Amino acid sequence: MKILFFTHYSSLYGANRSLIDIIEGLEKFGVISTVVMPNGGDLTNALLKKNIPFIIHHFKPWIFIDDVKPNSLKSKMIHCWEKQENRIKIQKYNKQQLLNLKSNILKEEDFDVVYSNTSVFDFGFNYSELIDSRHVWHLRETPQQYQFKWIYKNSRITKSFNDSDLIISVSNYVRENFVNSLGLKDIIVEYNSVMSKDRLYSLEALRSNIKTEKSNFLTFGLVGLIHPNKGQIEAIKALKIVVEKFPSCKLLIIGGGDVDELSTLVQSLNLDNNVSIIGEVNDPFEYYLEMDAYLMCSKKEGLGRVTLEAMSVSLPIIAFNDGGTAEIIKENYNGLFYQNGHIELADKMITLITNKNLRKKLGENGRTYFEDNFINEIYVHKIHNHLSKLIN
């Protein structure tokens, strides 16, 4: 089986780390994979190290971030005209890029499946039609999570999705969102995996060598793109309340993006000695192993690969009770929920600081839950079965 994967960015955040997991797992079934991405970056470096073929070929998404709030009919009309003009430009540009990819780069190379690793572009779907191949769409996010809108009418969006041969969703939350908003049909839910069983056991050995016998000094952390909906600001505000009682507590923020607002907030709250903004990293596990508890503050999260990663190293989770996160966290089993802002979050953080037995229980249960449900070997076997049925 030969698969052509398309992804929309080149950083190593959750969607692309999951993509690599799928490709490496499918190799054991004899599947040959090639990845197409619009630009180079950390993903290309990772693919080079793993000897996974890739092509850098630019294309444009079929979404936009609508941050214009018109105050008059005139400005609304101008904005609508700009969107229409951009829609036509994007359509013409992608059409030419499709032909270039087929004629000049891949030429007559055949693929059994074209696999779009996200919902935010239709380039992969259109390429599958151009070469008359099967198409898979992997839904990993909702429009609400990143505040994007479609450049086309919903009827066209719906038709493109439903004309695909297979749609996979990372959670029931994402599936229901697309069903309710666009009327999509026949969506299969497969929760992400994160790592192999061997990797899990090696991390467990590393974790056991780190002393975590802390009582009133914990290091909290969160990993992900710096974005308003990811909750980094909420976590910093919560930490300010926590350090008033426990001044040695720390917060690690790992992820790329514009950190100016976060840095300004940290300084204004006098938390320079308590908050470390690390930036984007290729392997976050170095930092997971420094943490004592994990904060999942993201709103409308599709699933939350980072939550699963934190579970894998026995970290208790404090999570915003929303989206796909609510499907993988069980209250007082592998984590604690909050829903009413940074004050409630701070209260949950203090609960973990003052209750060592609870921390241990949540972490151990999360580790067991992870091994039972989110191992690569199980996940990739399911994906391979779906693909085999598709082409046969």
Q: How many CA atoms lie within 13 A of 385 on its CB side?
A: 8
Distance (Å, whole) CA 313 – CA 292: 10
List the one residue out of 89, 23, 49 whose CA is nearest residue 384.
23
For 254, the 3-state DSSP assignment is strand
Q: What is the pTM of this model?
A: 0.88
Element (H, E) at 211: none
Interacting residues of 13 by C-beta distance below 8 A, sequence separation 6+: 224, 225, 255
pLDDT for 283 equals 87
Cβ-contact 296, 325 below 8 angstroms: yes
Query: What is the fold, at CATH topology level, of the domain defined by 2-193+376-391?
Result: Rossmann fold (3.40.50)
CATH of domain 197-373: 3.40.50.2000
pLDDT by residue (tens digit) across 331-388?
Answer: 999 999 999 999 999 999 999 999 999 999 999 999 999 999 999 999 999 999 999 9
Residue bearing tokens 């992608």: 94
Q: Which residues of the chain have pLDDT under 50?
A: 68-82
| From-to residues of CATH 3.40.50.2000 in the chain | 2-193+376-391, 197-373
Distance (Å, whole) CA 352 – CA 360: 9
List the one residue out of 134, 118, 64, 122 whose CA is nearest residue 98.
122
Which amino acid appears at position 111 of this protein? F
Cβ-contact 122, 62 below 8 angstroms: yes
For 91, the 3-state DSSP assignment is helix
Q: How many CA atoms lie within 13 A of 108 on its CB side?
A: 0
Interacting residues of 14 by C-beta distance below 8 A, sequence separation 6+: 140, 192, 224, 304, 305, 306
